[in-house]
Amino acid sequence: MTATAPPVGEPDRTQPRNTPASPAAARLLRFLPAAVAALCGVLLYVSFPPRTLWWLALPAFAGLGWALRGRGWKAGLGLGYLFGLGFLLPLLVWTGVEVGPGPWLALAAIEAVFVALVGAGVAVVSRLPGWPLWAAALWTAGEAARARVPFEGFPWGKIAFGQADGLFLPLAAVGGTPVLGFAVVLCGFGLHEAVRAAVRARRTGRIRRSAAAAALLSVAVPVLGALAARPLVSAEAEDGTATVAVIQGNVPRAGLDFNAQRRAVLDYHARETERLAAEVEAGKADRPDFVLWPENSSDIDPFANADARAVIDRAARAIGAPISVGGVVERDGKLLNEQILWDPAKGPVDTYDKRQIQPFGEYLPLRSLIGAINDEWTSMVSQDFSRGTEPGVFTMAGAEVGLVTCYEAAFDWAVRSEVTDGAQLISVPSNNATFDRSEMTYQQLAMSRVRAVEHSRTVTVPVTSGVSAIIMPDGRTTQKTGMFVADSLVQEVPLRSSQTPATRLGVAPEIVLVLVAAGGLGWAVAAGVRGRRAGGV
């Protein structure tokens, strides 16, 4: 009788199994895949900033591949969830710095559901020829879903954001974060398949050429693709240069009440700008063409408060250059997180309203339900911010500066829209004072480095409390500040207007990879149905 392959998605019981030496060994083997999945999730977390261990993502996905391959979808669901928790629980711990563990645990538990679904899908496609391709595409599809739902999505923890120091970074210029992340995951799953093929060949003395080729290609293609993409990465000026000043004024205190002392944050940023102006006059610093302040650098509305307006006017006249000021503004009954272009002679001349606002931070979804659970949470966000509708590109001393406010840097569309709208340089004004000295600020800084390569633009990161930085279009950080200090960065930076393939293609690579994932899943399900029918004849 000829043995038939087990249906796709069902455990493979056709392979010989070694009988455990004892019941204890049997229990250990039963729980080993779960332990491996959870530990590989932790390994993936360790690959993220502030550490520069980007390469640990490869063994993390290799281990996940070992845990998932050949299993049923239900087992894949559970193992994927454990992997997701191992990754996201430590990665997102900063979300509970000021509000306690409840929101942090809830967020990690919800986001891990997406990883669980990917795990189920990977288990299903793991019997297909070239399964690392389909599995990596499924991971990308999971990230695409996570970046959109619920509540407009939460892309934090995209694999691409852990690769700012890595070999694969140039692929961001090819197809953005989806292609960069796909390459890393493909290489990780391919690494598992390569080890598996080598062990099988050593044990049996035979090499399955198709499996070996698939493993080799899964590892080699991402690496060779990254090397081939290097010419797309450049820090050369195309439209001249600009001398930019990034101001970090610091805050009176860390935490949710960082701006509880009226006008203190604004005064700190004005004082640091005036200090820089004095250094310029003394010949100790280059004169900037324009100045960038962080998000919330004006802790009171300068349109409604004459004293705030006077402080900003004085700072702009002292430095003699336009300033992008971050403020919280109330206009027409709407609360807006706004960047204001402040001219030293004319005052406010342009604005940009943040479009991707943060759920539970800048607005509260399901307010009545959450209030019934804990009214303290509703008091933290007493009034919802409104969304802006238009890209923000300020013309500052002849340079086109695109504004991407803090949380927006995690969203592909928000950054790309500024570049396609003409930005020659990107600024990511942020306020991380709420999160104290957590890893959040380093995770966000890595996002900005990836965005620099993705769109081949200088990226400046002015932050109220640090870490502020200047990043070249090739992803190098040339200057940065410490945390919770007043400081300024001044540098001549390149202006660029050409568009990378990633900028031109936009969401297209992600759509293609989602379709590849759907095709692989459909093939696996159809193969499983045929297998079950054949087994029942």
Decide if 457 contacts 425 (C-beta within 8 A): yes
Distances (CA, A) of 307 to 89, 96, 302, 326, 327: 44, 35, 8, 16, 14
Please calculate the CA angle 469-472-477 and round it to the nearest 5 degrees: 40
Place of tokens 């700008």: 273
Stated as kind and residue range, the H or E segment containing 119 is helix 101-125
Token digits of residue 394: 């300020």
Distance CA 53, CA 477 (A): 17
Place of tokens 């063409």: 289
Per-residue H/E/C for 436-471: CCCCHHHHHHHHHHHHHHHHCCEEEECECCCCCEEE
Alpha helices in 456-507 (DSSP H): 501-505
Residue 63: what are its φ and ψ, rounded to 5°? -65, -40
Distance CA 105, CA 111 (A): 10
Q: List active site positions.
A: 295, 354, 406
